[in-house]
Amino acid sequence: MESRYITSALKPEQLPDYDLPEIALIGRSNSGKSTLLNNILGRNKLARKGSTPGQTQMINFFGLGEQLVFADLPGYGFSAINKNVAEQWEPLVEGYLRRPNVCEFLFLIDIRREMVDVDWFLVDLLARNLSLYVVLTKSDKLSRQAQQQRVWDLTAEMKKRGIDVKKMLPVSSLKKEGIEELREDLFAHIPKIEPKI
């Protein structure tokens, strides 16, 4: 299936309007959102990945065929270096969260990082309407055993906080681990067209 860049939104009023199912990638700056999206879409540089943290300040939309849309949300948590960036981030993401066609929130977190207040705040917000799909990125940085331990620990923590988690999957864009499983899960959102007789 052909993937393509659709548009970018810097302000809530620029969010595109359509009925296609949409999957949102959200996570800290540098958690690997754009790199993962390139892997999901099977394209090398479609969703540009930045070397400067906090580089993607817009919501970038990508389409897979005419069937599924992916939204690469701007990363958060880029400290005080860029305060006006954070001021832009909130209204844009808040506006985004009200979109009715979002069918999956992928919450990305670097597998080596602990959740901090801002992560919990966001996860709480996201899991209000949809059961959360947690992606533990950069799994190549840990051994298999350490990855599994992280899944258990974070699952327990989420449960304790009453966050509804649908799945928690370690992935590595670098080693292409977990990508196929993730793609299968996500592509299941593609609407089935009933054959007409």
Question: Token digits for 92?
Answer: 């844009």
**Options 14-22, 45-53, 63-71, 148-156: segment touching ligand GTP (CB under 6 A):** 45-53
Tokens 């309407």 -> residue: 129
Please report whether residue 34 would count as binding ligand GTP according to CB under 6 A: yes
Min CB(153)–ligand GTP separation in Å: 20
Instruction: Report the residue from 3, 30, 60, 147 that binds ligand GTP according to the rule CB under 6 A.
Output: 30
DSSP string, 127-138: TTTS-EEEEEE-
* Cβ atoms of residues 48 and 5 within 8 Å: no
Give the separation between CA 75 and CA 35, rounded to whole angstroms.
13
* Residue among 164, 178, 25, 39 at smallest CA distance from 108: 25
31 binds, among Mg ion, ligand GTP, none (CB under 5 to 8 A by kind): ligand GTP
Min CB(81)–ligand GTP separation in Å: 12
Question: Token digits for 5?
Answer: 């860049």
Residue 53 or 190 having the CB closest to ligand GTP? 53
Min CB(48)–ligand GTP separation in Å: 8
